[in-house]
C-alpha cells in the first residue's frame, strides 16, 4: 500500500507544484512506483510543469464520478511515474471529498508513494489530503510571511500527522530574502526535510514543461535526493550539507546567467502553424 505525502503551504508560489514534480521524479528514478495527484482544483498547474497539458482529457473528478476509468485519467510521465490531473472547472466547494478519497483507495495498491499537490492555504481543499496522508510536507520560501503562514498550516495538521518543513527557492546571493540562519531560526532540525536552492535553469525547464528532461546533474536533483532520504528513510543531514548545496546552486545560476545570452537558451518556444492558424509548442513531448 502506498505511503501518501501531502505537499502543502500557507502562501502560494513557494514551490509546492515544483516540489511535487521534482520529489516524484526523484523517487521514481530510484525505482519506486509513484503517482502524482494534482489537488489544486480550478488552479491546476502540475500538468504544465510535466508538459502534459495537451494530454489531460480526463481528471480526478471525472474518475471520482465514474465518467472515465483509471486507465483514461492516469497518464504516464516516465517509467515508474504516473500523473492524475485536477479538474480545471470544479472547485473544492463543489466536490465531495469522500468521492476523491475512494479514488485514492482504489489506486493505493499500485504505488509505493502517492504525492498530493495541494492548494495553498488552510481552505477546504487540504482536508481530503490531510485525512488520507501519512506524511505532510510544508513548503516555505525565505520570507517572514511564508514562514508565518507555514506555521499556521502546521497548527491545523491532525495531532498525529508526521510532518516536515521544506525550505525552497533559496538563493544565497539574493540579499532581499531571509538569510539561511534567519530562515532556520524557528525550525526544529528534526522537522527539516531540506533546503532546496533556487536554480534558474531548472526553474526555466519547469516553466517550459520540460522538468523531466532537465539535466540530472543539476544540483536541484541532489537536493531532492537528500529530501527523499530524509522524508522516506529518516536520514538527517547536517546544516553544512544543505549550505553546500545552496552554494552549488548559486554557482549554477552564475553559469546560467552567462549562457542565457546565447540563442540556445532564448530560443522561441512557439511556432506559428499556418495550417491550423494557431501557435503550437515547439519541441513539446
Ligand atoms: N527551487 C526552485 N528553483 C527554481 N525555480 C523554482 C524553484 N521552486 C519553484 N520554482 C518556480 O517558482 C514558481 C512557483 O512555483 P510553484 O511550484 O508553481 O508554486 P506553488 O505551487 O507553491 O504555487 C514556478 O515557476 C516554479 O517553477
Ligand atoms: Mg501550485
Closest ligand 1 atom to Cα of 197: 1
Q: What is the pLDDT of residue 123?
A: 87
- Is residue 22 in contact with ligand 1, taking CB distance under 6 Å? no
Q: What is the pLDDT of residue 95?
A: 82
What's the gap in Å between 18 CA and the centre of ligand 2? 7
Which residues touch 5 (CB under 8 Å, ≥6 apart)?
A: 23, 113, 114, 115, 116, 133, 134, 135, 136, 137, 231
Q: What is the pLDDT of residue 262?
A: 56
Return the biggest CA–CA distance within the chain. Answer: 58
Tens digit of pLDDT per residue, the chain (285 long)? 999 999 999 999 999 999 999 999 999 999 999 999 999 998 999 999 999 988 999 999 999 999 999 999 999 999 999 999 999 888 888 888 888 889 999 999 999 999 999 999 998 889 889 999 999 999 999 999 999 999 999 999 999 999 999 999 999 899 999 999 999 988 888 999 999 999 999 999 999 999 999 999 999 999 999 999 999 999 999 999 999 999 999 999 999 988 876 555 555 566 677 776 766 665 555
Q: What is the pLDDT of residue 269?
A: 64
- Is residue 15 in contact with ligand 1, taking CB distance under 6 Å? yes
* Distance (Å, whole) CA 164 – CA 134: 12
What's the gap in Å between 38 CA and the centre of ligand 1? 15
Closest ligand 1 atom to Cα of 14: 22
Q: What is the pLDDT of residue 272?
A: 73
Closest ligand 1 atom to Cα of 169: 1
Residue nearest to atom 4 of ligand 1 (CA): 203
Strand order across the beta sheet in which 34-38 lies: 74-78, 81-84, 34-38, 113-117, 3-8, 135-140, 162-170, 192-197
Residue nearest to atom 17 of ligand 1 (CA): 15
What DSSP string runs through the chain? Answer: --EEEEEE-SSSSSSHHHHHHHHHHHHHHTT--EEEEE--TTS--HHHHTT-TTT-SS-HHHHHTTSS-HHHHEEEEETTEEEEPPPSS--GGG--HHHHHHHHHHHGGG-SEEEEEPPSSSSTHHHHHHHH-SEEEEEE-SSHHHHHHHHHHHHTS-TT-EEEEEEEEE-TT-TTS--HHHHHTT--GGGEEEEEE--HHHHHHHHTT-GGGS-TTSHHHHHHHHHHHHHHH-----HHHHHHHHHHHHHHHHHHHHHTTSHHHH--SEEEETTTTEEEESS--
- Is residue 98 in contact with ligand 1, taking CB distance under 6 Å? no
- Is residue 253 in contact with ligand 1, taking CB distance under 6 Å? no
Residue nearest to atom 15 of ligand 1 (CA): 15
* Full-model pTM: 0.92
Q: Are the C-beta atoms of residues 193 and 166 closer than 8 Å to each other?
A: yes
What's the gap in Å between 109 CA and the centre of ligand 1? 30
Neighbours of 119 (CB within 10 A): 24
Closest ligand 1 atom to Cα of 223: 1
Q: What is the pLDDT of residue 281?
A: 66
- Is residue 206 in contact with ligand 1, taking CB distance under 6 Å? yes
Amino acid at each position: 500500500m502506498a505511503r501518501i505525502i501531502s505537499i502543502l503551504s500557507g502562501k502560494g508560489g513557494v514551490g509546492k507544484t515544483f516540489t511535487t514534480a521534482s520529489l516524484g521524479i526523484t523517487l521514481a528514478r530510484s525505482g519506486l512506483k509513484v503517482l502524482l495527484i494534482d489537488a489544486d482544483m480550478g488552479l491546476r498547474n502540475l500538468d504544465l510543469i510535466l508538459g502534459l497539458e495537451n494530454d489531460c482529457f480526463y481528471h480526478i473528478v471525472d474518475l471520482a464520478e465514474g465518467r472515465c476509468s483509471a486507465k483514461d485519467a492516469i497518464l504516464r510521465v516516465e517509467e515508474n511515474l504516473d500523473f492524475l490531473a485536477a479538474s480545471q472547472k470544479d472547485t473544492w466547494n463543489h466536490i465531495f471529498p469522500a468521492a476523491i478519497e475512494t479514488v485514492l483507495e482504489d489506486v493505493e495498491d499500485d504505488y509505493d508513494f502517492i504525492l498530493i499537490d495541494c492548494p495553498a492555504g488552510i481552505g477546504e481543499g487540504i482536508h481530503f489530503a490531510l485525512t488520507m496522508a501519512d506524511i505532510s510536507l510544508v513548503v516555505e520560501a525565505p520570507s517572514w510571511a511564508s514562514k508565518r503562514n507555514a506555521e499556521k498550516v502546521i497548527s491545523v495538521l491532525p495531532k498525529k500527522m508526521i510532518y516536515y518543513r521544506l525550505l525552497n527557492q533559496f538563493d544565497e546571493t539574493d540579499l532581499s530574502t531571509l538569510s539561511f540562519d534567519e530562515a532556520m531560526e524557528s525550525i526544529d532540525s528534526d522537522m527539516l526535510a531540506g533546503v532546496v536552492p533556487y536554480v534558474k535553469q531548472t526553474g526555466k525547464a519547469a516553466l517550459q514543461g520540460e522538468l523531466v528532461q532537465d539535466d540530472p546533474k543539476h544540483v536541484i536533483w541532489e537536493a531532492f535526493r537528500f529530501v527523499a532520504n530524509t522524508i522516506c528513510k529518516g536520514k538527517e543531514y547536517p546544516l553544512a550539507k544543505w549550505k553546500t548545496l545552496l552554494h552549488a546552486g548559486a554557482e549554477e545560476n552564475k553559469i546560467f546567467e552567462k549562457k542565457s545570452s546565447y540563442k540556445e537558451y532564448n530560443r522561441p518556444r512557439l511556432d506559428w502553424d499556418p495550417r491550423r492558424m494557431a501557435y503550437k509548442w515547439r519541441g513539446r513531448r
